């Protein structure tokens, strides 16, 4: 991935295939916000709340995804562990994100 450039475009008339992204986050608010942002940029987005569901979705859908965006802090399996599992089995790029919320 070193030296690779990702260009974000909001082009509703693009002729290329739509990029499909699997978003994994156990926090419903973060999942909704990330999904909404990606959809605004015309990406096809599928969301799941658990890393095990992400792996299951990847296995069922085969090569349907171009990228996985995953939270780092999740129960049972963190984002880095999920990234390792995905790299071994699917060879997909994974972006790990942190979603912090202030506690009142």
- Work out whether strand 67-71 and strand 44-48 pair parallel, antiparallel, or are unpaired: unpaired
CATH architecture entry for 20-97: 3-Layer(aba) Sandwich (3.40)
> pLDDT (tens digit, 9 = 90+) per residue, 33-43?
999 999 999 99
Contact 94, 82 (CB under 8 A): yes
pLDDT number for residue 60: 94
> pLDDT (tens digit, 9 = 90+) per residue, 68-98?
999 998 888 988 999 999 999 998 999 998 7
Residues 63 and 41: their CA atoms lie apart, in Å, by: 21
Extended beta strands in the chain, E state: 20-24, 44-48, 67-71, 94-97
């Amino acid at each position: 991935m070193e030296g690779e450039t990702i260009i974000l475009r909001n082009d509703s008339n693009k002729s290329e295939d739509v990029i499909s992204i699997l978003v994994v986050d156990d926090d419903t608010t973060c999942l909704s916000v990330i999904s909404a942002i990606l959809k605004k940029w015309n990406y096809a987005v599928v969301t799941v709340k658990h890393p095990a569901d992400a792996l299951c979705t990847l296995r069922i859908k085969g090569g349907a995804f171009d990228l996985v965006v995953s939270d780092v802090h999740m129960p049972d399996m963190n984002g880095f562990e999920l990234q390792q599992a995905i790299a071994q089995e699917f060879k997909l790029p994974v972006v790990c994100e942190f979603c912090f919320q202030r506690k009142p």
